[in-house]
Amino acid sequence: MSGNGNAAATAEENSPKMRVIRVGTRKSQLARIQTDSVVATLKASYPGLQFEISEFSGKEWKLMGSPVPREERTQHFWLCLYLKPVPLPQDSFWAAPTSEVAMSTTGDKILDTALSKIGEKSLFTKELEHALEKNEVDLVVHSLKDLPTVLPPGFTIGAICKRENPHDAVVFHPKFVGKTLETLPEKSVVGTSSLRRAAQLQRKFPHLEFRSIRGNLNTRLRKLDEQQEFSAIILATAGLQRMGWHNRVGQILHPEECMYAVGQGALGVEVRAKDQDILDLVGVLHDPETLLRCIAERAFLRHLEGGCSVPVAVHTAMKDGQLYLTGGVWSLDGSDSIQETMQATIHVPAQHEDGPEDDPQLVGITARNIPRGPQLAAQNLGISLANLLLSKGAKNILDVARQLNDAH
């Protein structure tokens, strides 16, 4: 048997037997696409699984055969995954994903208030965590940037998938296609729901005005195209790419223009911390480089005690065994800022012994199949950079930013 065949056989032998795996996701097109991509990767890792589908709404789907078009899927449904080896046709995935539960979160429901003012640390995760706690779902797929650096007791991030482009993108109103932020007319209004983006871009492009814009990607693009309020809006490149809207990207913002949010571009899979079967199942999704970069970023943010109510941004890169982390904090108007870069050598041990540990989590992440040494080095890098910024006055900048944000 080939090496790949042995790996597949091992995956099947180690998979939990005859369990129904139920996956939770937010009720948005992007969240569904992200969840489906994770399910597809799990399916590829466990090719001998039998999928039996039943629909929560009572409307029947095909068990096997042609994929179900994305636009025909309902918002609420159950799809049951039975772990039993059988050969599956390559095109059967959309007809037979895992059990999936879609729901609205606090962040989805409150659309008339800026994210930074709602006052919730888990805007897009709390309701899904309730479903995990009640054992209604077994795993939940999130945009990693939505997950706080301190998770509620009993939960952990069991996998961090390979990161897509983490940078921000500018989408222009049709009449300004071909422009850049620099060449937009004086006093042009740019929409963003992020204090981080607004603070950095106000500093870089003082001729522009920045206003809050809320809603999912579809809603924000509709507001841009159909109304005359915004000349452009800022969105995450990864989200636009996952939606297949590459042609709407008018400009990619580089780190010197706008550093990105902690975890942006990566997907995190949240599970119950003591559900070892599910932890083992989703562990195959870990991308080591993305994991180490995001541990460093999350450790940086956690030590700063930052969040969506203050402008904090990062940029990370791995090169020649070095992990580079750049982090910054800004005042709300961008006039005051501190930015620094540090690096750490990442040594990967020759072998790693898996097994229980007293506290296996690092900044809310469990990755027992990745060597512990590099994870600790990444976490220490994030803490060290945060300490450097704090020593240069970052706490005062963030405190003032919080006070001003709360006051308005």
**Active-site residue identified among 22, 220, 242, 293:** 220
Q: Which residues pair with 234 in a beta bridge?
A: 170
**Active-site residue identified among 275, 298, 308, 368:** 308
Q: Alpha carbon of 257 to those of 163, 202, 230, 288, 385: distances in Å?
A: 21, 10, 20, 28, 20
- 220 is a catalytic site residue: yes
- 146 is a catalytic site residue: yes
Residue where the block lists tokens 């870069």: 341
**Active-site residue identified among 22, 32, 43, 145:** 145
Angle 100-125-22 (CA atoms, 0-180°, nearest 5)? 20
Contact 126, 109 (CB under 8 A): no
**Active-site residue identified among 204, 214, 392, 402:** 214
Element (H, E) at 406: helix 394-407
Element (H, E) at 195: helix 195-204
- 22 is a catalytic site residue: no
DSSP notation for 67-103:
PPPGGG--SS---EEE-------TT-TTTS--EEEEE
Coil, strand or helix: which one is 51? strand
DSSP 214: -
- 19 is a catalytic site residue: no
Residue where the block lists tokens 């941004």: 313
**Active-site residue identified among 163, 196, 272, 302:** 196
Type of residue at 378:
A
- 287 is a catalytic site residue: no
**Active-site residue identified among 36, 138, 146, 275:** 146
- 197 is a catalytic site residue: yes
Contact 270, 125 (CB under 8 A): yes
Which pair of structure tokens corresponds to residue 340? 């620094």
Alpha-carbon 27 to chain mean position: 15
The residues assigned a catalytic role are: 145-146, 196-197, 214, 220, 308
